[in-house]
Structure 1
Amino acid sequence: MPTNLTPAFARRPAAVTAVLGAAWLLAACNPHEPPPVAPAARPVLVAPVQQAPLGGLAFAGEVRARERAELAFAVPGVVREVRVDVGATVRRGDLLARIDAAPQQAQLASIEADGRRLQALLDEARRREQRLQAARESGAATEAEWTAVQAEVKAAQEALAAAQAQRTAAAWNQGQTELRAPFDGRVSLRQLEVGQAVGAGTVVVGLEGRGRELWLTVPGSLTLSTGQTLALQGPSGSAESRVLQLSSRLEAGGSRRVLVSAPETWPTGEAVSVQLWPRDPAALALLVPLRAVQMDAARPSQGQVLRLPANSAVPERVEVMLGALQGDQVEVRSGLKAGDQVVLAGAQSLVAGQAVTPVSRLR
């Protein structure tokens, strides 16, 4: 009889399986087993929501004279004299340039000669009228003759009046051959040379007078009103100013054109960078870094941020209403308040409900 070498427990598989299963259940239900470990707090970069004037950033503006003129000849002609150049200071009434007046002088002379002829015809018609009136009173002239001479006098009067009107127009044209300064100022533009033919209405000289004003392009959400006091910071220092005019429509990108007063000493004809600080507290806005906002592609004016509550280490997702862009920051119109901490970096690795360790700068 052969010897059986199979282990004893191998001949009782059902019993062994039962014992192992019970041991596994006991291990699973062990009250001394430690609970699952929560995810460790992760460091995230945070920044506070800041309150600042929307205009507290640099805006591009164009300084120009409040009193200015673009001068042109009212009649065409050939330039015969130019007395000024760019930068020249002029007084009111000074001669700036002159075109050839010969055509206007010839026209005026012709009209004046025609006027003298028509005046002579009118004088002769009036003398006939006087003679005929005496004959009519004595019965030597008929009513038809009297009516005819009266019509002749009236026609001569009308012809002379038309010639006088033409003479006035010709004299005005002759006067337009000279370009004179309408006010005291400085020449800012010269676009003519001696011998050049210029057309009527073509701007040839620019003149700047008293006063300065500044054109700015600002966000349409900026609270401004006509007459509001402002403070400007320009290349020549700081100055107080006020709003002169607001454009009634928004430009591309939601911006608005604003005209404000500028210091008399600021240069004209060049673009400058200024600081516009509204003194109206209502113009203050909440600004957050743009990278803290998750934009909504379907609704460009809305987005989400991760805000860290004051008494919690777990960030919460907040819906915000967005306003104007200010460089690398964006205006937040609702959903946050000044001083709130928002997550800038590190949110990608967070899980729902995970605590964070806020840091203000990256090492």
Structure 2
Amino acid sequence: MKLSRPKAALAAFFIIVAGIAAWRLMPGSGASAGTQTPPAALTVSVVEPQYRQWPDTIEANGSTAAWQEAVIGAETGSLRITEVLADVGSEVKRGQLLARLADATATADLQKQEASVAQARANLEQAESDLKRSRQAADSGALSAQKLDEYRITATVDRAVLASAEADLENKRIALSQTRIVAVDDGIVSSRSALLGNVVSTGTELFRLIRQGRIEWQAEVDAQQLARIHADQSASVTLPNGKVVDGKVRLVSPTLSTNTGRAIVYVALNGHDAQPGMFASGDIELGNVQVLTLPEAALVPRDGRTDVYVLNRDGATVERRTVVAGRHRDGRCEIVSGITADMRVVASGGGFLSDGSRVKVVEQKALASLAAANSAAQGGAL
């Protein structure tokens, strides 16, 4: 019995539909495999956080200043500057001549006083000679006791006059020495107000020295940091030109400012690379401490936070974890909180992942070889 054409076409349609359905239900078919295992989003390697011994430091900012400044001024007045022998930046030694004042008047006064001393000494010698002769005459009864007392008093007065003249002579010598302006200590001239021909008054500042050329960094710290800092701790200071200078804590301020609530830590710097008035940042080393670290490449900065991707226990998906990052050192970053040491973290490429992404984990060396092969293939295609 033959089927009609419409019935034959309908039967053929059902046979085709049944065949397609059977193919879709076959194990290993494309549609079935797609619904069972989604493809991996990225091939990655993982690392475990490591504990490292890092220096425990306190970061601070502050300005540089002279350890101590010495002010050199005129000790005598109404004298003209006749010679200037030092300028700003000059390295000088203690007692070195920096400037000279007009000394003609002081020299003349000194010579006059020397003559007065010579005259007083001669008068004293005469009085002592008269006293000696009068004593001999008094022993023989040829001179009264009253006259002998007069000679004795005259000798005493002349002795006092000589002492006064010698004291005045010393004053004149001091006045003459004050016309020589000398360095009070070894150091570097930081300012000079002495001008040739200028008439100075007593106490006028002529030079200012950085004593012994020593510069220090005055770091500002808060009360919590201050409690951990003490003298002789090491420090490193970064100058505005990028150069790093070593130093050591010389003094810790015992009080905090009532205006800012901060204290000053005085750090003596080594060398002459710093100049007073620089604003510098630096670290004060407190000792070594054990910290948990990750490679910097594992960190993913995003929207003001720092994320890492941790491999889940299934070994195929990742979980996003927000961490608190600390200091950076030698290509690694301190992790303050957010992960533990037993977690496995995606080593790099986290910026292409999201929470719950599927990944394929390979060894670090295999991933490097794969990246090199891809680069070579792209180069050959070009």
Shared fold (TM-score, shorter chain, > 0.5): yes
Q: Is there any run of 5+ residues in structure 2 with no aligned partner, and where?
A: 1-54, 292-335, 340-354, 356-382
SS across alignment from 2:264: strand
1:98 aligns with 2:100: yes
- Name the residue aligned to 1:112: 114
Cα distance in structure 2, aligned partners of 1:136 and 1:216:
84
Q: Which amino acid aligns with 1:132?
A: S
For residues 207-238 of structure 1, give each alpha carbon's deviation from its aligned partner in whole angstroms, at most 9, with x where no partner exists: 33343322223223322112223333334533
Give the counterpart of 2:142 among 119, 130, 140: 140
Q: Is there any run of 5+ residues in structure 1 with no aligned partner, and where?
A: 1-51, 285-337, 342-358
Confirm or deny: 8 A CA contact 2:221 2:265 kept in the other structure: yes
Mapping of residues 206-245 of structure 1, within 5 Å: 206-208=208-210, 209-222=212-225, 223-235=228-240, 236-245=242-251
Cα distance in structure 2, aligned partners of 1:200 and 1:55:
48
Confirm or deny: 8 A CA contact 2:58 2:286 kept in the other structure: no
SS across alignment from 2:224: coil
Cα distance in structure 1, aligned partners of 2:75 and 2:118:
28
For residues 136-157 of structure 1, give each alpha carbon's deviation from its aligned partner in whole angstroms, at most 9, with x where no partner exists: 1212122222222212111111
1:181 aligns with 2:216: no
Confirm or deny: 8 A CA contact 2:62 2:217 kept in the other structure: no
Cα distance in structure 2, aligned partners of 1:228 and 1:207:
28
Cα distance in structure 2, aligned partners of 1:153 and 1:217:
70
- Name the residue aligned to 1:260: 267
For residues 132-176 of structure 1, give each alpha carbon's deviation from its aligned partner in whole angstroms, at most 9, with x where no partner exists: 011012121222222222121111111111110111111011011
Confirm or deny: 8 A CA contact 2:74 2:201 kept in the other structure: yes
Q: Which amino acid aligns with 2:127?
A: A
TM superposition shift of 1:122: 0.9
Cα distance in structure 2, aligned partners of 1:240 and 1:87:
23
Confirm or deny: 8 A CA contact 2:239 2:274 kept in the other structure: no
Identity %: 23
- Name the residue aligned to 1:127: 129
Cα distance in structure 1, aligned partners of 2:243 and 2:205:
34
Cα distance in structure 2, aligned partners of 1:280 and 1:229:
9
Q: Going by fraction, where is helix more abundant, 1 or 2?
A: 2
- Name the residue aligned to 1:18: none
Change (3 A) 1:154 1:221: farther
For residues 308-353 of structure 1, give each alpha carbon's deviation from its aligned partner in whole angstroms, at most 9, with x where no partner exists: xxxxxxxxxxxxxxxxxxxxxxxxxxxxxx6489xxxxxxxxxxxx
Cα distance in structure 2, aligned partners of 1:265 and 1:210:
7
TM superposition shift of 1:91: 4.5
Return 177-186 or 260-269, whichever deviates more. 177-186
TM-score, normalised to structure 2, is: 0.55
Confirm or deny: 8 A CA contact 1:231 1:279 kept in the other structure: no
SS across alignment from 1:56: strand
Cα distance in structure 2, aligned partners of 1:240 and 1:88:
24
Cα distance in structure 1, aligned partners of 2:185 and 2:65:
20
TM superposition shift of 1:254: 1.3
For residues 182-206 of structure 1, give each alpha carbon's deviation from its aligned partner in whole angstroms, at most 9, with x where no partner exists: 4554322110211212222222112
Change (3 A) 1:110 1:164: same
Q: Which amino acid aligns with 1:72?
A: G
For residues 97-118 of structure 1, give each alpha carbon's deviation from its aligned partner in whole angstroms, at most 9, with x where no partner exists: 1111123223223322222222
Cα distance in structure 2, aligned partners of 1:152 and 1:255:
72
SS across alignment from 1:232: strand
For residues 114-135 of structure 1, give each alpha carbon's deviation from its aligned partner in whole angstroms, at most 9, with x where no partner exists: 2222222211111110110110
TM superposition shift of 1:277: 3.0
SS across alignment from 2:235: strand
**Alignment size in residue pairs:** 235
Say what the alpha-carbon RMSD is for the aligned residues: 2.9
SS across alignment from 1:166: helix
